[in-house]
Structure 1
Amino acid sequence: MNPRRDYQLGLLYVTISAVAWSLAGYFTRLIPLDSFTLLAWRGIFGAASLLIVVVLFRGRHWWREFAGIGKPELAYIALTVAGMIMFITSLGHTSVAHGAVIYATIPFLAAFLGWIFLKEYPSRSAMISSIFAVLGVILMVGFGSDGGLLGDLLAFGMTCCMACSIVLMRRNPEMSAMASACIGAIISGAICWPLGAPLDVTGIQLFQLALFGLTNSAVGLAFFALGSKKLPAVETALIGALDAPMAPLWVWLAFNEKPDLNTIIGGGMVFAAVIAHIVASQRRAVPAHA
């Protein structure tokens, strides 16, 4: 495939995954259940939808995705389980805006890990955009009043898990990422099942939980896995940071959970940084080496 075309597909796939993941806060606020019940059903429906994706991609040989599980896949499963639990739990202790924009620190984390483990040196525009995005996070977390320390720490833990996942997939492009995510989803659901009240949900809530699992897991993880193999780690993280300004927007529109001014400004800085980097990347002669 043409390197430029491959790079553009990577941008598209990771952007789609960011949009899908940005809806997590919306579903968390929409479904009035405790975190463990949400995680239990999200894990089950997420695993089922990911299994369907694997079958669609691999056809009759879908089972080989699971038969080929090795050390990279086991590491990815552990990161998926930890990230899922910390992310959903964080939303019960901080605002959606804080949780989303803290995720914008991921470009720095991914750039550092990519430099250490992959010898990928971030482009100047990627680093400038990352610094600008993190300044937005500092403004929001340091001066915003709509978050909570425990929730913020959990959100940062989830961000660390995602940064490690990006580098892991970049380093092992042939790994069975979707099969691993499927296993991770069912494990997280099994862990949380006895800690919540999953049998007390209504029919409407069950339908909403199914949409949550489909959107957040099948769409989000599938496109993330496809896109992260085509982009440098820091760029995957930077485009994924679009989650930050979009997540509080959906909650604001649907539930009137208004972020304060510093949160709005910080989220705007993240969005501007990502757009500026995409424009700069498209102007380079050989974007595949960005």
Structure 2
Amino acid sequence: MNNLSNGLMLALAGALLLTPDTLLMRLSGLDGGAMLAWRACLAGLVFLSIGLIARFKEEKENRARVASFGFWSLVICQIGNASFFAFGIALAPVAVVLLAVATVPVIAALLGYFLLGELADRRVWATIALVFSGILMSVVGDIERGMNTDFETLLGACCGLAVAVSLAFNFVIIRKNKTVPFELAIGLGALTAGCTAFYLWPAAWQVRGASLIYISVTGLIILPVSFFLLSKASRLTSAANVSMIMLLETVLGPLWVWLGIKETPSPLTLFGGVLVVGALGFFLYRQADLPALERAGK
């Protein structure tokens, strides 16, 4: 397998692992502050551990890389990603937040063009359009079921959009700066966001029992492993490809919620999910049949 194929497979594995994340967040029953504190701190510690173990032999080189603009840009992206996603899920229905997050491949494709000179081809844009249409159908299906559209829902959607911007920058920066220790940057950013949340929401220290178990699974396993795979993938294939595949989480996530807490999706929601999965499946199949140079859009 070449780099592009490896990148697509890593992105697919990361996206699939990420799908139960929203269910576990909902099952924890935590508010935005407590959710951010625990998720970000736990994931940050795992990322820092991975980074330190992987890089301890390159101490001198790492000092220069840690002082770079790319490294600190990743730190800021991770602070934004961790913070906005936790508050978005706490404020608004999952589908609304995930619809806003679904803009990430468009943003990533534009950033990839302006910052890296990588022009997404027609196949990529067509798949992005189909995927976004499917996610839009899913949200319309939720609205038909009587989903509230109040100020908190709007605020949650804005948080989701901020997550999309953070993720797009994250993947593009990692692709542009292939030697930057992204594990350390993501870990530092997540830990900063989490510790700040513990300081601002002292009640987060009172989390116990099942809530702590649910949030620990997502913070110690799902988040760090999935984002490690997605970040690795962005060094092997374009940021637009990685972010588009990650959108599997936006349709499979609500299905996990359906299975876990019996929030039954509407037929339109299910049809939208089938459209997303089908479009991404066809895209991956077509990518496997194209010459490597053509697939890179060059």
TM-score scaled by length of structure 1: 0.90
Contact 1:21 1:216 in 2 (8 A): yes
Aligned to 2:267: 261
Contact 1:65 1:179 in 2 (8 A): no
Q: Which has the larger displacement, 153-162 or 19-28?
A: 19-28
167, 181, 192: which one aligns with 1:162 = 167
1:276 and 2:273 correspond:
no
The separation in 1 between residues aligned to 2:40 and 2:106, in whole angstroms, is 29
155, 171, 174: which one aligns with 1:150 = 155
Contact 1:20 1:215 in 2 (8 A): no
Aligned to 2:257: 251
SS at 2:174's partner residue? helix
Aligned to 1:289: 296
Contact 1:45 1:209 in 2 (8 A): no
Residue 48 of structure 1: CA displacement?
1.6
What's the C-alpha RMSD, in Å, of the aligned pairs?
Answer: 2.2
Q: 1:93 to 1:204 in 2, by over 3 A?
A: closer
Aligned to 2:191: 186
6, 22, 34: which one aligns with 2:3 = 6
Residue 277 of structure 1: CA displacement?
0.8
Equivalent residues in 2 for 1:12-51, closer than 5 Å: 12-51=9-48
SS at 1:75's partner residue? helix
Residue 216 of structure 1: CA displacement?
3.5
Matched residue type, 2:35 = L
Matched residue type, 2:74 = Y
The separation in 1 between residues aligned to 2:134 and 2:292, in whole angstroms, is 29
Matched residue type, 1:74 = W
Q: 1:25 to 1:121 in 2, by over 3 A?
A: same
The separation in 2 between residues aligned to 1:259 and 1:162, in whole angstroms, is 27
Q: Which has the larger displacement, 91-100 or 277-286?
A: 91-100
The separation in 2 between residues aligned to 1:248 and 1:127, in whole angstroms, is 25
What is the aligned-residue identity percentage? 22
Which runs of 5 or more structure 1 residues have no equivalent in the other structure? none
Residue 68 of structure 1: CA displacement?
2.9
The separation in 2 between residues aligned to 1:233 and 1:66, in whole angstroms, is 26
Contact 1:101 1:267 in 2 (8 A): no
1:224 and 2:222 correspond:
no
The separation in 1 between residues aligned to 2:139 and 2:59, in whole angstroms, is 44
SS at 1:92's partner residue? helix
Contact 1:80 1:181 in 2 (8 A): yes
Matched residue type, 1:274 = L
Residue 64 of structure 1: CA displacement?
6.3
The separation in 2 between residues aligned to 1:244 and 1:193, in whole angstroms, is 28
The separation in 1 between residues aligned to 2:9 and 2:53, in whole angstroms, is 20
The separation in 2 between residues aligned to 1:31 and 1:66, in whole angstroms, is 39
The separation in 2 between residues aligned to 1:93 and 1:181, in whole angstroms, is 24
SS at 2:184's partner residue? helix
Matched residue type, 1:216 = I
Matched residue type, 1:33 = L
Contact 2:95 2:142 in 1 (8 A): no
The separation in 1 between residues aligned to 2:60 and 2:83, in whole angstroms, is 27
Equivalent residues in 2 for 1:65-84, closer than 5 Å: 65=62, 68-69=65-66, 70-84=68-82
The separation in 1 between residues aligned to 2:142 and 2:101, in whole angstroms, is 16
- CA deviation map 1:235-290 (0-9, x unaligned): 11111111112111111101112233333222222222211110111110226524
1:114 and 2:102 correspond:
no
SS at 2:103's partner residue? helix
Q: 1:62 to 1:226 in 2, by over 3 A?
A: farther
Q: 1:233 to 1:165 in 2, by over 3 A?
A: same
Matched residue type, 2:207 = V
TM-score scaled by length of structure 2: 0.88
Q: 1:278 to 1:246 in 2, by over 3 A?
A: same
Aligned to 2:121: 123
Contact 1:133 1:269 in 2 (8 A): yes
Contact 2:43 2:187 in 1 (8 A): yes
Residue 63 of structure 1: CA displacement?
9.1
